Amino acid sequence: MSTPPTLLVIAHGSRDPRHAATVTALCARVRRLRPGLRVEVGYLDFNAPRVPRALERLAAEAEGWHEGGRRAGQRHVVALPLLLTRAFHAKSDIPAVLREAAARLPRLTIHQADVLGPSLLLTHALERRLEEAGLRPGDRRSTGVVLASAGSSDPEAIAVIAEIAREWRRTAEWCAVRPAFASASLPRTADAVRALRDEGVQRVAVAPYVIAPGFLPDRIAAGAREARADILAPVLGAAPELARLLLRRYDQAVRARARGGPTALTA
């Protein structure tokens, strides 16, 4: 039986140690869900190993020898961006890093998986976090939710957040769901909370649509406290839904590879 492609989770990285700790916990959950799948991590910035170094290590192993003395063949890697929307990193930054690595490392065939969102698994994880923060399922019809993301200058990413908010309100029967952004776009979290209050919403909850703690998630939390939101959920973190979603995107990339799809990045 052939060895499945290695999963390389590509995280942004942060000076905040909570970021890498969250990525480590999430990858550990993925390994528990799929024993036998090799899961590695590479960071774009701040943390080690950086993506090129992680790929170099995999290529070096492919140059080695099997126990039986046979030369290792081509190693296949699924590079999965730990991102919730398709913005600059997913469209430009990560593909450029992967293309450069593929050109230098002929032993690797790299397939870039899609970003994580949008997905029902993500909204289920948001609901889990809101309930952990104290929201009762029966309170939904009287609760307005601020879906607070990191923010982006990419219009496509902003439009996706707005569509997620509309669809989440429709399917989950919230009183209202409004998008907010910690950077680059408006409104900010505090302004979205106040707008819901001005409309007479009885209870306002803030749901951070971010994976790991750090500077921008802290800004979301500060805005929620400033505007006196009733409930502030924690970040998505190593939620079980998120781990399952990583495996879903991995499996989709593996199937695309089998079909000879456009995700392969080779020298």
Q: Looking up tokens 């399917």, which residue turns up?
A: 171
Residue 72: per-residue pLDDT:
56
Question: Biggest alpha carbon distance in the chain?
Answer: 73
**Where does residue 100 rank: exposed (0-12), middle (13-18), buried (19+ CB within 10 A)?**
middle
* Angle value at C-alpha 234, between 229 and 237, nearest 5 degrees: 160
Residue 66: per-residue pLDDT:
46
Strands 108-112, 264-265: pairing kind = antiparallel
In a domain, 122, yes or no: no
CA distance 154 to 160: 10
- Give the range of the structural domain holding residue 51, as residue numbers without chain letter: 6-116+239-265
In a domain, 128, yes or no: no
User: Is the domain of 61 the same as that of 94?
Assistant: yes
Instruction: From 34, 26, 82, 42, select the one nearest 241 (Cα to Cα).
Output: 26
For the chain, the domain total comes to 2
User: Is the domain of 254 the same as that of 228?
Assistant: no
CA distance 20 to 238: 11
CA-based R_g, the chain, Å: 20
* pLDDT tens by residue, the chain, 267 residues: 578 999 999 999 999 999 999 999 999 999 999 999 999 999 999 999 999 999 999 999 987 744 444 555 789 999 999 999 998 889 999 999 999 999 999 999 999 999 999 999 999 999 999 999 999 989 999 999 999 999 999 999 999 999 999 999 999 999 999 999 999 999 999 999 999 999 999 999 999 999 999 999 999 999 999 999 999 999 999 999 999 999 999 999 999 988 876 555 533
CB-based contact 231:205 (threshold 8 Å): yes
User: Is the domain of 155 the same as that of 173?
Assistant: yes
For residue 79, the surrounding DSSP H or E stretch is strand 75-81
pTM: 0.93
User: Is the domain of 18 the same as that of 44?
Assistant: yes
Residue 1: per-residue pLDDT:
52
CA distance 193 to 138: 21
In a domain, 127, yes or no: no
Backbone conformation region of residue 219, classed left if phi is above 0, alpha if psi is from -120 to 50, else beta: alpha
* 239-to-125, 147, 203 alpha-carbon distances in Å: 6, 17, 25
Residue 65: per-residue pLDDT:
45
What's the CATH number where 61 sits? 3.40.50.1400
User: Is the domain of 254 the same as that of 202?
Assistant: no
Residue 71: per-residue pLDDT:
52
Residue 68: per-residue pLDDT:
45
CA distance 102 to 97: 9
Residue 261: per-residue pLDDT:
62
